[in-house]
Structure 1
Amino acid sequence: MISWPKAVLFDFDGTLIDSALDIHAATNMLLARDGLGPLSLPDVKAMIGEGTRKLVERAFAAAGRSLDDAELDDKYGQMVPLYAANLTKLTQLMPGTTEALTALQRDKVAMALVTNKPDFAIAEILEHFDLANYFPVIVGGESGVPHKPAPDMLYLALEKLGVEAGDALFVGDSPADARSAQAANMKLVLVEGGYSREPLESLGADVVLQDLSELEAALARLAPKG
């Protein structure tokens, strides 16, 4: 057991899982219904990170069509079943995920998953990769609080864990993750290989990792001295 951190909060897409191929496929199926697209994988990757509704809005804008609120509601409603049928066909764990989670569990560090992803998708993907037992607390896209980059999802996870912000850190891969953690006054670790539209070095992280296999060593460096 280690004394710090007491908890580690994780983003999901681009941090623990590489879901871009499945999201890309569902996005292009949605656009094709209106004779639009297809969008490239890099284009869709750059749209991930602030929830499925925002992704749908960005995808239609990139395909040359702006949506009013009613149209966005409709397209989001169509996207949900399309993605639900493609949750784990091509999705893979990010490098080092299982090792990092196992090490934290061994050291009795509490963990929470904090993601803008819809709740139905979270549950199925966690079950598919046998990850559910690592996360006693999950704050997902239907948690009823403002999504990242607001800090509210992190606050809710900390409250559920019974841990103060100074005793925890957040691990993510994107500007939304960075801004959420910074607004919550939490230590921030960012991981390369995800879906950031900005260089990670520009986002003010305490540490940037090549992959999650480096997390355990990073925690030792970030632990308060004395």
Structure 2
Amino acid sequence: MPDLVLWDIDHTLMATRGLGRELWAEAFAQVTGVTLREQASVTGSTERVILRETARAHDIPYNDDLFARFADALGAVHVRRAAELRERGHALPGAAVVLAALDERGVQQSVVTGNVRGAAEVKLAVFGLDTYVRLDDGAYGEDGEGRPELLRLALERARVDAGLAVFLGDTPADVAGGREAGVRVVAVATGKASPGDLRNAGAEAVLSGLADTGQVLVALGA
């Protein structure tokens, strides 16, 4: 049984059904004064990288101050529109049940996500998933640029060795990041990546989703 299970958020635990991009565009316009024309690829990336590449596409100078202001704005807009997020989005089938089952077994859980922490906290709370994860042990978009860096930080915060942890994500970048950080990766094909894509990236196990609690627990070794 793992000592620690780390979760990606978007398309692994939940779906925002397009609202996420709307909230991102609102924060971007608020901070830059520029209407979003195009957003850099978000799949498997972090908010810091997405903002830098999106700013570049709009000829906006990027620096750490811009990111800090954007992170604050993005967190605030998630708080302000939390009710809309609850109405339009949803936790993926089985997510809450799996989290609860791991909690009952005494498995420590947290998140490793490209979301800024303010947005991540709102998303988890809106869908009732926050009670199962130790938010202070996680790693977020403010903490780095890539999954390996974030995973290593989460392991340090949780005080768990990489060999005793499992990471669940839905993208090849999640899988590659977990392998680089020395963490066992279980992938869920609930995002854009196919099961084959996730296997080819090196996932130890690939699940179609989280609805079959027993199957998920077996894949996690729990």
Say which SS state the counterpart of residue 45 (structure 2) adopts. coil
Moved more, 68-77 or 116-125: 68-77
> How does 1:78-93 map onto structure 2 within 5 Å?
80=74, 81-87=76-82, 89=84, 90-93=88-91
Question: Which residue number in structure 2 is paired with residue 73 of structure 1?
Answer: 66
Structure 1 residues 27 and 119, CA, compared in 2 at 3 Å: closer, same or farther? closer
Specify the SS of the correspondent of 1:69.
Answer: coil
**Structure 1 residue 126: deviation in Å?**
2.4
Cα deviation digits, residues 35-63 of structure 1 (max 9, x gap) = 554x6xxx88x5243222333345567xx
1:55 maps to which residue? 50
The whole-number CA distance in structure 1 between the counterparts of 2:130 and 2:142 is 17
Of 181, 186, 204, the residue aligned with 1:189 is 186
Residue by residue over 1:119-155, the C-alpha shift from the partner in whole angstroms, topping out at 9 and shown as x without a partner, is 21222222222222211244232664x3432x23222
Partner letter of residue 73 of structure 1?
L
The answer for unaligned runs of 5 or more in structure 2 is none
User: Does structure 1 retain, via aligned residues, the 8 Å contact 2:170–2:188?
Assistant: yes
Aligned pairs, number: 212
- Structure 2 equivalent of residue 24 of structure 1: 21
1:49-91: per-residue Cα shift (whole Å, max 9, x none)? 3222333345567xx6344325992794696254553455223
Q: 1:158 Cα deviation (Å)?
A: 2.3
Find the aligned partners of 2:71 and 2:152 in 1 and give their Cα distance. Answer: 28
2:163 maps to which residue? Answer: 166
SS in 2 for 1:157: helix
The CA deviation at 1:160 is: 3.2
SS at match of 1:180: helix
Match of residue 7, structure 1, among 4, 9, 32: 4
The two structures have a TM-score, normalised by structure 1, of 0.75
Question: What is the rounded CA distance, in whole Å, between the counterparts of 1:155 and 1:70 in structure 2?
Answer: 24
Q: Structure 1, unaligned stretches of length 5 or more?
A: none
Shift of 1:209: 1.0
Q: Structure 1 residue 25: deviation in Å?
A: 1.6
Q: Which residue of 1 aligns with 2:140?
A: 141
- State the SS of the aligned residue for 1:50: coil
Whole-Å separation in 1 of the counterparts to 2:161 and 2:35 = 50
2-structure distance, mates of 1:206, 1:31 = 41
Distance in 1 of aligned mates of 2:72 and 2:102: 38
User: Which structure features the higher share of helix residues?
Assistant: 2
Structure 1 contact 190–208 (Cα < 8 Å) conserved: yes
Measure, in 2, the Cα distance between the counterparts of 1:120 and 1:36: 21
**Does the 8 Å contact 1:171/1:191 carry over to 2?**
yes
Preserved CA contact (<8 Å) 1:154 1:184: yes
Partner of 1:116: 114
Q: Contact 2:4 / 2:160 at 8 angstroms: preserved in 1?
A: yes
Partner SS state of residue 18, structure 2: helix
Question: Is 2:152 the counterpart of 1:155?
Answer: yes
